[in-house]
Chain A
Amino acid sequence: MNKHIVVIGGGTAGMEAAGQLAQAGFAVSLVEKEKETGGHLNDWYKLFPDRRNSSEVRDYLKNKVSSKNIEILTGTYIEKLHSNKDGFLLSTRDGTELKADAIVVATGFDLFKSSRKEEYGYGIYDNVITSKDLEAMFSKGEITLNNGNSPKMIGFVHCVGSRDEKVGNFYCSKLCCVTAVKQAIEVREHLPESRVFCFYMDMRMGGAHYEELYREAQEAWGVNFIRGKVSEISESINNKLVVKIEDTLAGRPLKIELDMMVLMAGMEMSEGGSKIAEQTGLKTGENRFFSPEDHHYANNISNIKGIFYAGTCTAPMNITETISHARSAVSEVINYFNNSRA
């Protein structure tokens, strides 16, 4: 089989797809815009729900793509994508031309830019950070305020940029709840004297072992869960973050002062993915993610023959789902060539 496949995006989905394609005997070019493959996994220290080190999954993926059948192009992205009677012709920003018999789009997601929710003060108040910033602190092994002190009262705002019509995102990013619970536990572990609060609209603990983690956060770590959407965060004269929320279970407004607030940024269609959609006419949904041919049984198939989807470019997914989705994309690619030969 001398077919050549271009995989666009070198995150979890792209790496898994490239690895599986190579195993199936295809020649693969994996294109990644960053200097390194790994995608968002590179920004995460530990993974939910078992809090394993993310490097274990990164190592698995790196090993997966270390095949002679895979050519990895990093630090570049696809600028042009044309289809012709022989397949596809792609060119990268640095001028490399790639021919492809099929394409796997694995452009993933971007984290919601939390500064867009101005009322939460990201980029305005020093001690309002994002879930990604907190992971960087975990990697370093210390959680500190801007002035170097340890925070004592730490909050998490769920649904930042998710389920929010005001920022154009109706959908649930579905990973932020469990990430908040994981990070809340980790904060309590790092800072045993701290008090931690999760401000949530609904606790969406739909994945395997998520509910168990939630329960552990309550029972073993004393994390406080307050139901309501944070309306605004302001800073007091003594540098505390004053949070206003309706405690919807008490049916009363609530005010609380915190040292640090973590915003659980949601997932959005990546900029790179949107550009490709615009250029190629690949269909996108109301949520701006790529819209596969059928959400139940053709979840990897696009509206353009020979182009397939893998991973979070179609919807928010966790790593388990992303890897499964990438594998099923590969099986669709195999079917595609088997059928076109017949």
Chain B
Amino acid sequence: MDKFGFTISKGRQIDWEANNREIVDFIIEREPSLKSCIECGGCSATCTTGNFTSFSLREIHILLKRGENEPVRDIIKHCMLCGKCSLVCPRGVNTRNVVFLARQAFKKYDSYAV
């Protein structure tokens, strides 16, 4: 019998209630400057890694804030911790430390073990 190729698409909606924001909470507790982020994208624009891969610290930050942790788990490893992002941040966020802490947080919480 022919296969019709129907599939069920996974929903794209961010479900605030269903999501778990323990990773971002872990980071903010240790690096409160992240709370001042205004999503300008300066960090992503200056990022060497971001120029060659899909790594974007701005996007990573928003995903973690919404509890969309899964897509961040692997991409966070791409950062080379050069710290250029910290130099351009207009709100003085210690972005380099954010990446560092994100990696720690993923290690800490088993379900997202790196």
- By a beta-carbon cutoff of 8 Å, the part of chain A in contact with chain B is 203, 215, 218-219, 222, 224-225, 227, 247, 249-250, 252-257
A150 nearest CB across to chain B (Å): 19
CA–CA, A243 and B16, complex, Å = 10
Flag whether B74 is at the interface (Cβ < 8 A).
no
CB distance from B70 to the nearest CB of A (A): 13
- Is A250 within 8 A of B13, CB to CB? no
With both chains docked as a complex, state the minimum distance between the C-beta of B3 and any C-beta of chain A, in angstroms: 30
Number of B residues near A (Cβ < 8 Å) is: 20
B residues sitting closer than 8 Å to A (CB atoms) are 12-17, 32, 35-39, 58-59, 62-63, 65-66, 68, 91
Q: Which residue of A lies closest to B65 (CB)?
A: A224
Q: Roughly how many angstroms separate A257 CA and B17 CA in the complex, as a whole number?
A: 7
Helix, strand, loop or mixed for chain A's interface? strand
B36 touches A254 (CB 8 A): no
Most chain-A CB neighbours within 10 Å: which of B35, B37, B65, B68? B35
Bound together, the chains give a CA A200 to CA B21 distance in angstroms of 21
Chain B residues in 8 Å Cβ range of A253:
12-14
A222-B35 in contact (CB<8A): yes
Interface contact B17-A250, CB-CB below 8 Å: no
Contacts of B35 in A (CB 8 A): 218-219, 222
Structural contact, A250 and B14, CB atoms closer than 8 A: yes
A219 to B13, CA, bound (A): 28
Q: A215-B91, A250-B62 are in contact. Are A255 and B36 (CB under 8 A)?
A: no
Q: How far apart sit A179 and B12, CA to CA, in the bound complex (Å)?
A: 32
| Contacting residues, chain B, for A218 (C-beta < 8 A) | 35-37
A254→B15 CA distance, assembly (Å) = 6
Distance in angstroms between the alpha carbons of A252 and B63 in the assembled complex: 10
Q: Is A255 within 8 A of B91, CB to CB?
A: no
Task: Say whether, besides A203-B38, A219-B32, A249 and B16 are in contact (CB < 8 Å).
Answer: no
Q: Which residues of B contact A255 (CB under 8 A)?
A: 13-16
